[in-house]
Amino acid sequence: MPAEPTLDVSNLPSSSLDAETPLWWGNVIAMTVETTILALLLMCYFYIRKNFQLWPPPYVDTLHPVLHPVPKLLLATIETGVLLLSVIPVVRLDRMARENAKLSPQSHPPAERDHWLRESEAQRQRVEGPMVRGLVLVALMAAASCVIRWFGFRALYFDWNDNAYASAAWSLLVLHFIYLLFSLVEVALVAVWIGRMGLKEKLAEDFTLVAGFWYWTVAAWLIIYAVVYWSPRLMS
C-alpha cells in the first residue's frame, strides 16, 4: 500500500470562539428560528388589527368602561430599564469569558508552554469569583424582570381570551416570558457550573453563547415593548 501524503492537524487548537465554532452556528440558527416565530407572531398581531374599528377595542366588561384601553406603561417600562441595565454586566462577563477562552498552547514554543499554561490557569482562578458574582447579578436581574412581567400582564386590561387583540398581545408577552425564563436558567446554570468546576475554557466558550442569546432576548423585548405598549398609542 503506497503511503499517502498527509495533512497533519495535530498542532491545531482544540477550541475556538464565535463564527469559527459549530456551537456558535447552532446558537445563531436557534436564534434565527426564534426570530422567525416572533416575526410571524408580530405579523399576526398586525393582521388581526384590520378586523377592529378601534384598536385596542374598548374595554366594556366593567363598571368603568375604557374607550381606548392602551396597555399601561409603568411596569413594562421599569422592566425595559432592568433588561437594558442587565446588558452592562453581561457585556463585562462576555469580555472576561473571551479573555479566558482563548487558549491555544500550540501558539507558544514548547519551552514556554508550561509556564504559559500555569500563568493562564492562575489568571482564570482570579476571575472565577468575579465571574460567578456577575452571573448571579444577571440572574437576579432576569428574575426581577420575570416578576415584573408576571404583574405586568394585568396592564393589558383584557384576559387573553377576551378577543383576538388580547390573544395576540398576551401571546407576544408570554412567548417572551418563556425566552426570559430560558435565559435565566441558562445564566444560573453557567454560574453553578463555574462555581463547581472552575472557569474551564469550554464553560467560557459556552458563556459567550449564553451572552449572545441574552442580547437577543433584550432586543426581542425592545421590539415587543414597542409594539404592544407604544404602537397602539402612536398608530391609533
Of the pair 21, 77, the CB lying nearest another protein is at: 21
Positive or negative: CA dihedral 15, 16, 21, 23: positive
* Site map (CB under 8 A) of another protein, residues 133-172, x = contact: ---------------------------xxxxxxxxx-xx-
Distance, in Å, from the CA atom of 159 to the CA atom of 156, rounded to the nearest integer, reads 8
78 burial via Cβ count (<10 Å: 0-12, 13-18, 19+): middle
- Per CB under 8 A, 109 contacts another protein: no
Of the pair 73, 136, the CB lying nearest another protein is at: 136
Q: How many CA atoms lie within 13 A of 234 on its CB side?
A: 7
Pick one of 102, 105, 144, 146: the residue that binds another protein (CB under 8 A). Answer: 105
Distance, in Å, from the CA atom of 11 to the CA atom of 107, rounded to the nearest integer, reads 9
- Per CB under 8 A, 213 contacts another protein: no
Task: Give the bridge partners for 66, in sequence order.
Answer: 59
Positive or negative: CA dihedral 134, 138, 139, 141: positive
Distance, in Å, from the CA atom of 127 to the CA atom of 97, rounded to the nearest integer, reads 9
Q: What is the footprint of another protein within residues 11-40 (CB under 8 A)?
A: 11-16, 19-22, 25-26, 29-30, 32-33, 36-37, 40
- Per CB under 8 A, 46 contacts another protein: no
* All three cell numbers of 183: 435565559
- Per CB under 8 A, 54 contacts another protein: no
- Per CB under 8 A, 193 contacts another protein: yes
- Per CB under 8 A, 223 contacts another protein: no
Of the pair 15, 77, the CB lying nearest another protein is at: 15
Please give the backbone phi and psi of residue 59, each rounded to the nearest 5 degrees, phi first.
Answer: -95, 110
- Per CB under 8 A, 178 contacts another protein: yes
Q: Which residues are at the interface with another protein (CB under 8 A)?
A: 1-16, 19-22, 25-26, 29-30, 32-33, 36-37, 40-41, 44, 47-48, 51-52, 57, 103, 105-106, 113, 117, 160-168, 170-171, 178, 182, 185, 189, 193, 197, 200-203, 206
